[in-house]
Amino acid sequence: MHLHERRQIQTDATTALPPAIALFLVTLCEAATDDFRVCRCANATSRQTVNTTRSLRRHVHVTALLPCARSDRFLIKMASHGAALSVSKMISPFWGGRLGNTMKVFGTTLTSHRNKSLHTGENIPPPAKYGGRHTVTLIPGDGIGPELLNHVREVFRFSCVPVDFEVVHVNSDVQTEEDINNAITAIRRNGVALKGNIETKHTMPPSVKSRNNLLRTSLDLYANVMHCQSLPGVQTRHKNIDIMIIRENTEGEYSSLEHESVSGVVESLKIITRNNSLRIADYAFRLAREKGRRRVTAVHKANIMKLGDGLFLQCCREVASGYPDITFDSMIVDNTTMQLVSKPQQFDVMVMPNLYGNVVSNVCAGLVGGPGLVPGANYGRDYAVFETATRNTGKSIAGRNIANPTAMLLASCMMLDHLQLYDHASSIRNAVLTTMNETRLHTADIGGQGTTSEVVQSVMRVIQSKGQLTSEL
């Protein structure tokens, strides 16, 4: 770990804190230059705190102080991991006795930071991690979501995965946004989420936005990633499929901007911006390079939507010029769907606007066996949310113990990779793929008669047979 790598410390300053601690935090915010200034405060007489802050300014280089959305929260950027630990040691004598385990929590948070996202290449805040365990937001959603996520938790407990879940329920039957706002707040706090799909009811008035869309736009989860590949033991028309689909996740026809200008005439706006198009194109090419891929295909309809899709295609071409080692081509969306069902092996990495991504991802899921097999992920600069790729609620099979848990289990493995818990991710993923080879355990969606519980029990038995640290079955 190099000293030039930046780390971020996130901490709360509230009126409930002891005066010396509150003053210490406020003073740090005021001391943004080399000239030390003590801010005016009702409790500005604590000589101990002032001396501590002077010591901090002398020994630790504070590179930047960033305001957060919440008024009682801020970020302190440190020049190095060592600097962050210095802060922890320096303030421990003053905080440790008053806040009990707060300093323990603070210290473990410092050591858990990932300086760069594995997917965006950008500096990101760490996920919540306390006592060596990660805290992840869990949104059960509707339909089969709750039962599948209960099985994920069962597998995690059995495999001794160091993850704790903060469960946040979102009620799709109400028109208020309180539930989804609570979920968004929890994800901002924890950094990572695992979710079932939240149903978007057609009977709701137009003013009620899709909860899934609201979550993605509020957190700026601009890249939806789906890895569509042939799985062992699943009989399909096409073999050797291995396609990565990158879908722009925040604009296009999903901008939720539509209105009825006059009775019987509805206008729906499709928003394509240069910044977001460049961003998703660069993401696709960077991911292709990281994964050793050799070709990126931009999917569009620029022959008809010359301005909107034309801008998207132009941005893809601009970004492609910076990646000479990767072949770039483009394909009209209607031809793309035909080519996918005819010869899907020709595709490697595909990047596309929002609506086309929805269609293409469902086609690709069908090619490899259906929606119960393919995981998905939504990445932003600061947050990541993992779910099944096709975002189906599966209400018709909810509660019947016949839903295929494969997609959700694989999505949880993607989440573990994101948290850098690679051993646990590989253990569960390999167990899932081994179970897929046992056709007697196939669920009804892929032609078998197995139950959800039987599949999950088999996964846990495989994990145990490999000698992994586990709890009792």
Is residue 277 classed as helix, strand or coil in its secondary structure? helix
Question: Which residues 6+ apart lie within 8 Å of 343 measured at CB?
Answer: 238
What angle (nearest 5°) sits at the alpha carbon of residue 347, between those of residues 341 and 353?
A: 90
51-96, pLDDT tens digit by residue?
Answer: 444 444 333 333 333 333 333 333 333 433 444 444 444 444 444 4
246-270, pLDDT tens digit by residue?
Answer: 999 999 998 878 888 899 999 999 9
pLDDT of residue 202 exceeding 80, the answer is: no
Closest Cα partner for 419 from 191, 149, 140, 96?
A: 191
134 or 37, higher pLDDT: 134
pLDDT of residue 105 exceeding 50, the answer is: no
Return the exposure string of 250-272: e unless at least 16 CB atoms fall within 10 Å of the residue's CB, then b. bbbbbbbeeeeeeeeeeeeebbb
**Which of the following CATH numbers is that of domain 237-368: 3.40.50.10190, 3.40.718.10, 3.40.50.450, 3.40.50.720?**
3.40.718.10
Burial of residue 200, with CB atoms counted within 10 A of its CB: 0-12 exposed, 13-18 middle, 19 or more buried = middle
146-165, pLDDT tens digit by residue?
Answer: 999 999 999 999 999 999 99
**Cα end-to-end distance, the chain, whole Å:** 39
Say how many CA atoms lie within 13 Å of 352 toward its Cβ: 26
pLDDT of residue 7 exceeding 80, the answer is: no
The Cα 135–Cα 319 span in angstroms is 36
The Cα 141–Cα 388 span in angstroms is 12
Is residue 110 classed as helix, strand or coil in its secondary structure? helix
Closest Cα partner for 168 from 366, 188, 428?
A: 188
pTM listed for this prediction: 0.73
Sorted by where each begins, the domain ranges of the chain are 7-110, 237-368
Other CB atoms within 10 A of residue 465 CB: 11
